[in-house]
Amino acid sequence: MKGIAVAVWVNTLPRLQLGEPHYYFSISAQALKQQPWRPGTVYLLPAGTFELQPRMRVGDVSVQLAQRASPVPVTPVAKLAVQPDDFPFLDQIRGHDDERVWSCAAADPDGFPWDEEA
């Protein structure tokens, strides 16, 4: 698979209240045609060392990306086998043109998700 784009973000409302989350899932249009979904594993990690990504500004909007990272290695506490049908947004995955995504990212890095399906 050449390109994958996954994003979950929450717009921050006045007084720093969090708005509703927005989800965006996209893979290369060629890959989407092949329906590449396979069984997999979700690893459950200890939360202790994970830090929320700092808020960022996109124009007039403060955006909180809903992702965390650990600055140190962690060991999974459990793992869970999953099937493609376990993913509740499977029917919302879009297809994109990789070349277009790269050119849009170069021209307007803050314009994600450049919402046009391939």
Q: Is the pTM of this model over 0.85?
A: no
Q: Residue 70: how many CB atoms within 10 A of its CB?
A: 13
Burial track 79-92 (b if 16+ CB lie within 10 A, e otherwise): eeeeeeeeeeeeee
Looking at residue 3, what is its pLDDT? 53
43, two tokens:
């690893």
Looking at residue 80, what is its pLDDT? 96
23, two tokens:
């989800």
Q: Tokens 């849009």 map to which residue?
A: 104
Looking at residue 37, what is its pLDDT? 93
Looking at residue 6, what is its pLDDT? 53
* Cα separation, 14 vs 61, whole angstroms: 9
Q: Tokens 């170069």 map to which residue?
A: 106
In the chain, which residues have pLDDT < 70? 1-19, 58, 61, 110-118
* Cα separation, 3 vs 29, whole angstroms: 9
Determine if the peptide bond prior to 113 is cis (ω within 30°). yes
81, two tokens:
């086998």
Looking at residue 24, what is its pLDDT? 78
